[in-house]
Structure 1
Amino acid sequence: MASAADNPLGTYLRDRRTRLDPAAFGFGGGRRRTPGLRREEVASRANISATWYTWLEQGRGGAPSADVLDRIAKGLMLTEPEREHLYMLGLGRPPEARYRPVDGISPRLQRVLDGMTLSPAIIKTAMWDVVGWNRAATLLLTDYATLPPDGRNILRLMFGNAQARARNADWDSVARFVVAAFRADMTRAGGSAAAAGLVAELSALSPDFDRLWRDNDVVAHNEGVKRLHHPVAGPLAMEFATFTVEGRPDLGMIVYNPATSADAERLHRLLAAAPDG
């Protein structure tokens, strides 16, 4: 049997297992020699064989699959950070992002956005629904608060909103980039019925989207420059960078900053002139 130093995955699984209350999971059996769930009980909850689970704790049997790790994470009721740690121990990489419907963001994350008073910033899901934004983003991009939740989708705005389309300089290039980046996000998140439905909706709504989607282009939505025709501030070039939200790989924060000193001056005038909402 491997030692704790040689078998960090087994050590972690054993530690999580012994912290669980059997009664909370409907397991009786009277007095137990050791705390927590038994190995066979975890295996039953994870729908894997008790022998295979035992081998994992003992450091035998090779690397588990992502499916097995997900089953075990569910069986042990691991939090998202704990599940990610399990993946790092078992496979040496974090899990793929999973699509989950999001109604909003935490107050703490909203305060992070609000603290960036001079940098427009938004939070988007893997479906490209905007679920968080700051005042600067409202003034530069869109007043998301005035839109219904399903209207805050970046792709719906890009391909179904004439005002949003008019604000984007070189719309064709931007649209191609957005569709290719969305494809990468959707695939990384494992796909979903909701994502397939959104693609079908946009394909029926916009021949442009349908054409670009059929091209099968894929790009990383890491950083770049967004050029805008703002109705008040005029032409603006904004550099952007995208960051994954810790513990929520299905959420991305996009932060914009002026590309030049002239763009910074125009943005600052826009922010200073607008009343606080």
Structure 2
Amino acid sequence: MRPGARAGGRRAELASFLRSRRERVSPEDVGMPPGPRRRTPGLRREEVAQLSGVGVTWYTWLEQGRPINASAQVLGAVARTLRLDVAESEHLFRLADVPQTAATPDEPREATRDLRVILDGLDPLPASLVNARSDVLAWNDGYAAMFPHIVRTPAAERNSMWFMFTAPPEINPVLNLDEQAPEGVAVFRYRYSQHLGDPEWQDFVHRLCAASPLFARLWATQNVAPPRPCNKRFRFPEVGEVATRATHLDVGSLPGVRMVVYTPIDDLSRDRLAKLRARAVVRGGPRG
């Protein structure tokens, strides 16, 4: 992709993100009187500029995605005015290209032999290896028992985000989708901001927005969050409900790749996972 096109995509993302963050901050949040009734929610551009100590024209151009220079100090002031958390501030700096970010390596497509051995060693704990875009690269038998439809999918289409948002209810075991969906999309945007301008990422987002109204709605919120452990609950017809703690472990030798391990949070869930694994149809499938 041409550098100009990549920069244009970054500026468009920056404009959308700033507007969405400004709209969620009320005058009362920053110690200002509410004033007369407002046509749109949140702060006005001139209020953000005033509180950040920058010119109205400069901030307007920044929010419009125009190619202007922005220092780390000024962006920090904007981030404080908009009450951005750590992940959102990092996201803002990436979008504004401050400091200059290094070129992002291509997404890994396969797992090394050592990582496959580690995955098998974690069994019976379900575990998989995924890249930043959530393409599933490898897994163990415990994971295959939980997600047989994912591991049976052709490698080019094997993606856990796609499955979560497009799988029909009868094969999607995620029980607390209302909790997991917003969190998953916010973390996905955190990773997406590190791949701005990448046509494969853009195509994936466009296709998933078209395939899932829920994803499209959550993507439009511009919410961003860092990866963190979270509780995930599943329901399987064979054994019932299973509660787990999903932990993401970054793989230093493969940038962007992480190992996701599902640990049962109680004895009942541990027993049910063991029964599910014992009954699993998938046995000895490919490891990516």
Q: Same fold (TM over 0.5)?
A: yes
The Cα offsets for residues 80-109 of structure 1, whole Å up to 9 and x where unpaired, read as: xxxxxxxxxxxxxxx879352333111111
What amino acid is aligned across from residue 141 of structure 2 in structure 1?
Answer: R
What does residue 39 of structure 2 align with?
A: none
Secondary structure of the residue aligned to 1:238 is: strand
**TM-score, structure 2 as length reference:** 0.59
The answer on whether the counterparts of 1:225 and 1:238 sit within 8 Å (CA) in structure 2 is yes
Residues 96 and 130 of structure 1: is their aligned pair in 2 closer, same or farther, counting only changes over 3 Å? farther
Q: Does 1:249 align with 2:255?
A: yes
The answer on whether the counterparts of 2:132 and 2:256 sit within 8 Å (CA) in structure 1 is yes
What does residue 140 of structure 2 align with?
A: 134
Per-residue deviation, 1:132: 1.1
The answer on whether the counterparts of 1:98 and 1:190 sit within 8 Å (CA) in structure 2 is no
The answer on whether the counterparts of 1:168 and 1:229 sit within 8 Å (CA) in structure 2 is yes
The answer on whether the counterparts of 2:195 and 2:201 sit within 8 Å (CA) in structure 1 is no
Unaligned runs of 5+ in 2: 1-100
Residues 233 and 207 of structure 1: is their aligned pair in 2 closer, same or farther, counting only changes over 3 Å? same
The 4+ residue runs of structure 1 with deviation greater than 6 A are: none
What amino acid is aligned across from residue 176 of structure 2 in structure 1?
Answer: D
How many residues are paired up? 183
Secondary structure of the residue aligned to 1:104 is: coil
What does residue 106 of structure 1 align with?
A: 112
Secondary structure of the residue aligned to 2:233 is: strand
Secondary structure of the residue aligned to 1:118 is: coil
Distance across 2 between alignment mates of 1:215 and 1:145: 31
Per-residue deviation, 1:222: 1.8
Aligned Cα RMSD in Å? 2.1
What does residue 178 of structure 1 align with?
A: 184
What does residue 232 of structure 1 align with?
A: 238
What does residue 269 of structure 2 align with?
A: 263
Distance across 1 between alignment mates of 2:169 and 2:116: 26
Secondary structure of the residue aligned to 1:229 is: strand
Over the matched positions of the two proteins, sequence identity in percent amounts to: 28
Residues 265 and 96 of structure 1: is their aligned pair in 2 closer, same or farther, counting only changes over 3 Å? farther
**TM-score, structure 1 as length reference:** 0.61
What does residue 168 of structure 1 align with?
A: 174
Residues 274 and 148 of structure 1: is their aligned pair in 2 closer, same or farther, counting only changes over 3 Å? closer
1:183-198 matched pairs, under 5 angstroms: 183-190=189-196, 192-198=198-204
Q: Relative contact order, CA 8 A, sep 6+: which one is greater?
A: 2
What does residue 158 of structure 1 align with?
A: 164
Q: Does 1:123 align with 2:154?
A: no
Distance across 1 between alignment mates of 2:267 and 2:103: 37
Distance across 1 between alignment mates of 2:102 and 2:246: 24
Per-residue deviation, 1:145: 3.5
Q: Does 1:215 align with 2:210?
A: no
Per-residue deviation, 1:274: 3.9
Distance across 2 between alignment mates of 1:268 and 1:160: 27
